[in-house]
Homo-oligomer: A and B are copies of this chain.
Amino acid sequence: MADRETNRIEAFSDGVFAIAITLLVLDLKVPRDLLAGQQLADVLLAQWPAYLAFLTSFATILIMWVNHHRMFSLIGRSDDRLMFHNGLLLLGITVVPFPTSLVAEYLGHDGQQAAALIFNGTYVYLAICFNLLWRTAAVRDRLLRHDADRAAVAAIFHAFRFGPAGYLAAAALSFVSVTASVVLNLALAIYYALPSRRSPGHV
């Protein structure tokens, strides 16, 4: 019964992650109505902010999906608080295509800083949600499986702790360089993708 509960949450969350990551492609716009003398290749190259935003959001959602599963492989039971915090997390995941689209449209134009703040702010929100969700499950082993690997549990506490500060730094960096802040955001995703030395072999 307990397992069935978390399976349900995982399956629904997986659906939301998979759809949100696939909807990102809708932000890659096909140029219409080329002006005389314009080359399609040039117009496509000029859309590089859209590709950077797409890649960053794709990498981040994928990593977050991996981390969501890392957590749930250790969680054995569910309660209303876990459901609620998971819902707050999914709210952030479904929103991601919107700030991604904002950055794709405004990077290099007026308004790029507001766009980058909202983009990085979304990830600050998500990093906070991950900590909330994990603490709901793992503080005093509230909802963990009885056989949960202690090293893996500790590794997640360790890894998540720096998330909000990292994304806050990316948001702050947008006051200096907007492009640099998006690149730092991408770097954070790649950092979280690297296998943790603390939990070798974990997926």
Residues of chain A whose beta carbon lies under 8 Å from any beta carbon of chain B: 4-5, 8-9, 11-12, 14-26, 28, 30, 32, 34, 39-41, 44, 55, 58-59, 62, 65-66, 69, 73, 78-80, 83-84, 87, 90-91, 94-98, 101-102, 104-106, 110-111, 114-115, 118, 193, 195, 201, 203
Task: Tell which of B9, B28, B59 touches A95, judged by Cβ atoms closer than 8 Å.
Answer: B28
Contacts of A115 in B (CB 8 A): 40
Task: Tell which of B19, B73, B101 touches A19, judged by Cβ atoms closer than 8 Å.
Answer: B19
* Pair A106/B15 contact, Cβ less than 8 Å: no
Known interface pairs A8-B14, A14-B15, A41-B114; 5 further A-B residue pairs with C-beta atoms within 8 A, sorted by A's residue number: A8-B203, A22-B94, A28-B95, A30-B98, A44-B118
Known pairs A40-B115, A105-B32, A114-B41; A25 contacts B203 (CB<8 A): no
Contacts of A83 in B (CB 8 A): 66, 203
Compute how far the CA of A80 lies from the CA of B16 in the bound complex, rounded to whole angstroms: 22
Q: List 23 A-B contacts (CB under 8 A).
A: A9-B203, A11-B11, A11-B14, A12-B14, A12-B65, A15-B19, A15-B22, A18-B19, A19-B19, A21-B90, A21-B94, A22-B23, A24-B94, A25-B95, A26-B97, A28-B95, A28-B98, A30-B105, A32-B105, A40-B111, A79-B203, A84-B193, A87-B193
